[in-house]
Structure 1
Amino acid sequence: MATTRTTARRAAARASLASVRNAHDLFVAGQVDGSYLASIPLPRLVTESWQRSLATGVDPDRGPGEAAAATCLSELRSSHPLAGALPVIRRLLVDHATDSGVLVGVTAADGALLWVEGDAGAGRKAATMNFVPGADWSERAVGTNAPGTALALDREVQIRGSEHFCRLVRPWSCTAVPIHDPLTGTPLGSIDLTGGSAVASAQTLALVRATAVAVEHFIALNYPRQVRPERGTEPRLTLLGADRPILYTGDGEHGTRAYRLSGRHAEIMALLLRHPEGLSADHLAMLLDENDLDVVTIRAEMSRLRRIVGDELIVSRPYRLLEHVGSDMGDAFAALRAGDIARAMDSYSGQLLPRSAAPAIARLRLELSTSLRGAVLADGELHLLRRWLDLPEARDDREGWQALHDHHGAGAIIRSEARGHLIALDSDLA
């Protein structure tokens, strides 16, 4: 009876393997689309990675390109933050892999393999698919694979045999966990175990995860004492009005620097200002677009933004501001909370990121505009009402123009202007 059950399980496994390979062949040939992949026994993580791999032009019949030159690889290794943690990795993983058919790979954050150690026989076989130091094993270069996809998603990943996008890698399974800078949360690279089917097990994942934690603790203990440069002035962000958003920073040595931000980067900064506790990539994606954004896109945008403003300002896991950033938006909200409407008007040069269609920005824009308008109308000060109505968003504010017309302090000229504006508004509705 036991033999019958074992035979049945093996037959089911072969059938499942065949269905995965068949689905992959049809997908890369363009005969089926992503929706078809949901009908086969594949994790969503894998199917989404296949779609990214195909979209970025990965060749399913080729491995990575030639490895980096020895001199270049030596420079990469010597300057990499994980170099000092190699004794930890070797003690926890490599020492147990020398006769097990398993390889331990350590990559940089861009997917470049820095070290490959472990079973010598497995190493010779893996070299035929260019799984060697210096080769690019990022997802954009090789398609779905554990170290590359772990870096693309910034999460631990297991890929089994035929789940790989590249057919050359199908004989192997792998488990990878990303490593992060313990201070800033910046991805440093990944640790990967590559071998037979047993490598993609829960026990292997627990082992690699524990090693990653040990490596991050090691890096934290050996961090230089002075890790952040002193800043001369607080960073400041302009988000209100029609002008392009700008982030101003001062480092105390080179004076003030101005970074003109793209619309997406300005949206992200505005949301980080309103969420000092931090935001995950999933949460950011939902706040920026309820339908079309995925975490890979968010991580790519965050990577670009951090290259512009510096890792000392924004950290990850979750994404958050490492120091206080002033802003015209923050000043306006603070003044309203304090009941200082004149100061709020001084800070308010127009709507928050008026070109943004992000749902969370639209809600924040409406909150600030509505709060300020309500405060101005309730206060009743003529000069504040006049300043509000001079803003583009108040041109159609009939209640505001009526309040100006009826204000006891308004002179004949002001009343005449308000009356003309009201007549024009009513004619538009006729």
Structure 2
Amino acid sequence: MSTSRSKGSRALRQVEAPSPDSSVRAAHERFVAGEIDASYLDSVPLRKVVAESWQRSLAIGVDPDRGGLEQATPRTLDDLRASHPLAPALPVIRRLLVQDALDAGVVVAVTAADGTLLWVEGDTVALRKAEAMNFVAGTDWSERRAGTNAPGTALALDRELQIHGTEHFSRIVQPWSCTAVPVHDPSTGVMLGAIDLTGGTEVATRQTLALVRATAVAVENHLALLALTRPIAPVAVGPRLTVLGGDRPRWTVTDRDGRPNASTLTGRHAEILVLLSRHPEGVSADHLAMMLHDNDLDAVTIRAEMSRLRRVIGADHVASRPYRLLAPIDSDLGEVFDALRRGDVAAAVNGYAGELLPQSVAPAIARLRTELSTALRSAVLSTGSLTLLRRWLELPEGRDDRDGWRILHDTAPDSVQRANAHGHLVGLDLDIG
């Protein structure tokens, strides 16, 4: 079966010859030490794709003495593997590559599109050696974190690539050579990840590239067959409430043709729906009035608001005496709480667009807002993940989190991040006098 492929893996490229090791090593040492600039690399027998990758690696602050970074927790890695689109094709990769690698001194790696190593298998001795540079499942080998390397740079450029020994940006990786080919969704062309073969100089040959490329094609064909035989799931038509972040709250219903119909809610209606979703047992008019305002609301006002709310979302969603939702509703708020309960901090951060109804002054909403924000912050700090910590600090409520910025300053793996964190800490100290 033929599949759609991106320009990175559709055409058969001629493999560029590796650069002479001694001259490349000398240029690398001078380049990372700042003795020569990027323009000097044009006079070195260095492939253009490698020179440009070195420049990106140096500019972003990659440490040339480190390999992959930030190993995921076992639970997070299991979740990543279970949900990844390449998981169903793992038997194909094992049959075509891993079985022959078991006693050949090489390692086979399957990465996600963001550079995370999902599976690393192969020769036992080679696997132990690869651990020394942190080439293990769960680590980030994207170019922006590990510098020039075959899987990371292949993903950055969306093209098949071989990196030979001293062409690696990180010194600890330079004893190795590697070949990587991106894999794409056969229906959409979206890049799903990459397949990589890592070992000695023998893995950077034309024959190896052809083998890894053929495996990528087989994987895409396998995924295409699965898509043809997979039953079509019915389209969810239930309502969804969106209340996190600075955008206006929305009530969205998806029709049977998959088309979303969204209604913008008033702040009061959004508050009511949030409280009803957190109290499935139902609440009385008096109780709801108390949760919405300390003393200025009465039952008559609540009944009037409920009548208007029914006209907006439909009378079949809310019941009276007590006020309650007739069926559970999806919401971004509920999804973040659910992710925190099951310990999936990455999913919680992904779903957290910002504070709950930030303009609301309703006492119960304010309490729930603080509960969610505090729980998420604590969960992020408990993971020890700098990736999640940086994403938290990018949020409005994280920008003044001095403890978080201090942790980033003390644990950041490169000088650029440490300098950025230091500057932010100085600014915070000036603000508080």
TM-score normalised to the size of structure 2? 0.50
Partners of 1:147 and 1:192 within 8 A in 2: yes
The farther-off stretch of 171-180 and 57-66 is 57-66
Taking every aligned residue pair, what percent have the same amino acid on both sides?
Answer: 65
Partners of 1:173 and 1:196 within 8 A in 2: yes
Structure 1 position 143 matched with structure 2 position 179:
no
CA–CA distance in 1 between the matches of 2:116 and 2:203? 21
Which of residues 119, 122, 127 in structure 2 aligns to 1:118? Answer: 122
Counterpart AA for 1:74: D
CA–CA distance in 2 between the matches of 1:125 and 1:200? 18
CA–CA distance in 1 between the matches of 2:41 and 2:133? 26
Other-structure match for 1:179: 183
Q: Which runs of 5+ in 2 are unaligned?
A: 1-16, 238-253, 265-349, 351-433
- 1:18 Cα deviation (Å)? 1.4
- 1:254 Cα deviation (Å)? 2.7
CA–CA distance in 2 between the matches of 1:228 and 1:55? 47
Other-structure match for 2:29: 25
Which of residues 70, 81, 94 in structure 1 aligns to 2:85? Answer: 81
CA–CA distance in 1 between the matches of 2:81 and 2:19? 43
Counterpart AA for 2:260: H
CA–CA distance in 2 between the matches of 1:41 and 1:256? 58
CA–CA distance in 2 between the matches of 1:29 and 1:257? 57
CA–CA distance in 1 between the matches of 2:62 and 2:233? 39
TM-score normalised to the size of structure 1? 0.51
Q: Which has the higher contact order (CA 8 A, sep 6+)?
A: 2
Classify 1:216/1:63 alpha carbon distance in 2 versus 1 (closer, same or farther; 3 Å): same
Secondary structure of the structure 1 residue equivalent to 2:111: strand
Other-structure match for 2:108: 104
Structure 1 position 190 matched with structure 2 position 174:
no
Secondary structure of the structure 2 residue equivalent to 1:115: strand
Query: 1:84-113: per-residue Cα shift (whole Å, max 9, x none)?
Result: 101100110001111110100000010000
Structure 1 position 209 matched with structure 2 position 222:
no
CA–CA distance in 1 between the matches of 2:215 and 2:127? 21
Other-structure match for 2:133: 129
- 1:227 Cα deviation (Å)? 8.3
Structure 1 position 70 matched with structure 2 position 64:
no
Partners of 1:66 and 1:130 within 8 A in 2: no
Partners of 2:114 and 2:142 within 8 A in 1: yes
Cα RMSD, aligned residues only:
2.6
Structure 1 stretches (4+) deviating beyond 4 angstroms?
Answer: 227-231, 249-253
The total of aligned residue pairs comes to 230
- 1:64 Cα deviation (Å)? 2.0
Partners of 2:151 and 2:196 within 8 A in 1: yes
- 1:230 Cα deviation (Å)? 11
Secondary structure of the structure 1 residue equivalent to 2:260: coil
Q: Which runs of 5+ in 1 are unaligned?
A: 1-12, 232-248, 259-306, 308-430
CA–CA distance in 2 between the matches of 1:37 and 1:133? 34
CA–CA distance in 1 between the matches of 2:169 and 2:263? 44
Other-structure match for 2:260: 254
Question: Greater Rg, structure 1 or structure 2?
Answer: 1
Counterpart AA for 1:220: A
Secondary structure of the structure 2 residue equivalent to 1:255: strand
Partners of 1:183 and 1:220 within 8 A in 2: yes
